[in-house]
Chain A
Amino acid sequence: MRKLVNRGVSRREFLRVSALAGAGVVTVACGSAGEPAPAAAEPAAPAAAEPAAAPAAAPAAATSQYSEAPMLAELVQAGSLPPVDERLPSNPMVMPVAESIGTYGGTFRRGFKGVSDRWGPTKHVDRLLVWYDQSLNLQPRIAESWEVNSDGSEWVIHLREGMKWSDGTALTTADVMWWWDNIQNNSEVQPGGPSAWMTSGAENTPATVEAVDDYTVKISYADPKPLLPYSLTRQNRDFFAPGHYLAQFHNDLTEDKAALEAAVNEAGLNDWTELFDAKRYWYSGGETPMLGGWRAMNELSGELFEMERNPYFFAVDAEGQQLPYVDKISHRFFEANDVFDLRIINGEVDFQSRHVQTPNFTLYKESEEDGGYQVFVGKSSGHVAMQLNLTTPNDQLREFFNKRDVRIALSIAVDRDALNELVYDGLMIPRQYSPLSVSAQAYPKQANAHIEYDVDAANALLDGAGYAEKNADGMRVWPGTSDAISFIIEGTDAAGSVTEDAVNQIVKYYAEVGISAAYKYSERSLYTAHYEANEIEAAFWGGDRTVVPLAAPIIWTCEQPDRPWAAAWALWKTTNGTNPTGQEPPADHWVWNIWGLWDQIQAEADPAKQNELFFQILDIWAEELPMVGYLGEGPTLIIVKNGVKNYLPGFPVDDPTGDEHLLNTETYYWEA
Chain B
Amino acid sequence: MTIYIIRRVLYMIPTLIAISILSFVIIQLPPGDFLTSYVAQLRQEGDIIDESQLESLRVRYGLGEPVYVQYGKWISGIFLRGDWGQSMDWQKPVKELIWERLGLTMIISLSSLLVSWFIAIPIGVYSATHQYSILDYTMTAFSFIGLGTPGFMLALIVLFVLQNQFGMNVGGLFSEEYINAPWNWAKVVDMLKHIWVPMAIVAVNGTAGNIRITRANLLDELNKPYVETARAKGVKESKLIWKYPVRVALNPFFSTVGWSLASLVSGVTLVAVVLSLQTTGPMLLRALTTQDMYLAGSFILLLSVLTVIGTLISDILLALVDPRIRLQ
A interface residues with partner B (beta carbon < 8 Å): 109, 114-116, 119, 189-197, 204, 234-237, 267-270, 273-274, 277-278, 298, 301-304, 306, 330, 332-336, 338-340, 342-343, 345-346, 348, 523-526, 528-530, 532, 545, 552, 554, 560, 562, 574-575, 578, 655-656
Contact = CB atoms under 8 A, between A and B. Distances in A.
Contacts of B97: 301
A485 B265 CA distance: 51
Contact of A303 (B43, B44, B172): B172
Given A192-B52, A333-B276, A335-B274, 18 more contacts: A109-B176, A115-B89, A190-B56, A269-B93, A301-B97, A330-B176, A334-B171, A336-B274, A339-B171, A342-B163, A343-B171, A346-B169, A525-B32, A525-B36, A528-B39, A562-B43, A575-B51, A655-B45
Given A304-B179, A525-B32, A192 B53 contact: yes
B172 A552 contact: no
15 contacts: A109-B176, A116-B41, A192-B56, A195-B50, A195-B53, A235-B46, A237-B47, A268-B83, A268-B84, A273-B60, A338-B274, A339-B274, A342-B163, A346-B169, A525-B291
B53 A268 contact: no
Contacts of A278: 91
Given A116-B41, A270-B86, A336 B46 contact: no
Contacts of B92: 115, 301
B211 interface: no
B156 interface: yes
B283 to A, nearest CB: 9
Interface in B138-180: 156, 159-160, 163, 167, 169-172, 174, 176, 179-180
Contacts of A524: 37, 40
Contact of A190 (B53, B94, B286): B53
Interface in B42-67: 43-48, 50-56, 59-60, 62
Given A269-B93, A525-B32, A528-B32, A335 B54 contact: no
Contact of B50 (A196, A332, A334, A530): A196
Contacts of B50: 192, 195-196, 574
Q: Which of B85, B93, B170, B276 has the most CB of A within 10 A?
A: B276
Contacts of B273: 335-336
Nearest to B275: A339
B244 interface: no
B131 interface: no
Interface of B: 30-32, 36-37, 39-41, 43-48, 50-56, 59-60, 62, 83-86, 89-97, 100, 156, 159-160, 163, 167, 169-172, 174, 176, 179-180, 272-278, 282, 286, 289-291
A303 B174 contact: yes
A304 B180 contact: yes
Given A332-B172, A525-B30, A552 B90 contact: no
Contact of A268 (B93, B163, B180): B93
Contacts of A115: 89-92
Contact of B169 (A190, A191, A192, A348): A348
Given A190-B52, A235-B47, A574-B51, A528 B276 contact: no
A298 B53 contact: no
A339 B170 contact: yes
A116 B59 contact: no
A165 B282 CA distance: 37
A370 to B, nearest CB: 9
Contacts of B60: 273-274, 277
Nearest to B45: A119
B176 to A, nearest CB: 6
Contact of B54 (A192, A346, A526): A192
A529 B31 contact: yes
Nearest to B53: A192
Contact of B176 (A270, A332, A525, A532): A332
B40 A525 contact: yes
Contact of A528 (B37, B89, B275): B37
Contact of A197 (B43, B48, B179): B48
